[in-house]
Amino acid sequence: MTGCASNPVDYHGDYPNNNINQHAVIVQPQKPVQPLIQAPIVNNYSVNLAGDYVNNPEVQTFIQHMVQTHGFSQDYLVGLFSQAQRLDFVIRLESPEPYKGPVTRPKLGSWTKYRSQFLTEAHINNGVEFWRNNAAAIAKASATYGVDPEYIVGIIGVETFFGKNFGKTCIFDALTTLAFDTHRRAPYFTQELENFLLMAKEEGYDPRQPKGSWAGAMGYGQFMPSSFRKLAVDFDNNGRRDLWQPADAVGSVAHYFSEHGWQLNGVVTRPTQAEDSPDVIELGAATGSEYWRIYDNFKVIKKYNSSNKYAMAVHQLAQAIKQRYN
């Protein structure tokens, strides 16, 4: 998910990152999983679409694509999309155009305000508790993928407050609305809808059951469907990738970091002085500007969300949790 630096929006919690997985959208899972259940075969579905998308030619074209390319049953998809609900609040949230003006200096106090959402006693204490409750999985993920454990915990804390805020929107309805009722990024969301239906088929999910963000992000780590299919792992070896379960979520976040080049024990960022360099960022604190030199691991965090404030919040929350955990 992206947002301008002065007003970041969580990629997996709200907006998808426009830089991730847009060109290679239909990706085979790293570790194919045999679904526990097949998508239900329903015989009483009408051949013609009903409901909010009755006679919608774009939905009809999409159904034919899924039938011809991926072998879905047309009757099944017609029935599924006949149940889809157009979500007006999703249209409102997606509609504003992003700021495209000149790059400006961070607004004074904007970083302090943003930081205060995540660097709280509640976040730190819940992070310590999450780490202790999932210590074995976190240690295994760190060793398997070469990712410092505190950053696995930190991402989950910023994304969903350690599972307390998964989102309550039906993913299928959200992605259908974004694909066929919005225009700015409709091709992107159409690809994510395609990935979501394939994910549901591969993993044995009823497509109408998963809940998450209004933009289609899911689970503890708020993965978009394309990221789920490419990078989610069955870390508890129960035959199913389930990012609403801590073990799979922990392993998948670590895998995500690893695939994007995380360096174990590597420097993330350090305070510095103002400098005209792409490796020095400015953040607007309440008392004035802060300048930070960023390293490769900071840039890996930004693969998750391109905002400097987001990446710094993950870093500082991770360090605060680590200090209290130890």
Q: Which residues are catalytically annotated?
A: 159
CA distance 252 to 37: 22
Q: Do the bridges between strand 288-294 and strand 280-285 make them parallel or antiparallel, or are there none, so unpaired?
A: antiparallel
Q: Which residues pair with 280 in a beta bridge?
A: 293
CA distance 197 to 206: 9
CB 204 within 8 Å of CB 32? no
CB 234 within 8 Å of CB 204? no
CA 253 to chain centre: 10
Q: Which residue stretches of 83-234 are H helix?
A: 88-94, 110-115, 121-133, 135-145, 149-160, 171-181, 186-203, 225-231
Round to the nearest angstrom and report the end-to-end CA distance of the chain: 32
CA distance 20 to 242: 21
E strand segments, the chain = 169-170, 211-212, 269-271, 280-285, 288-294
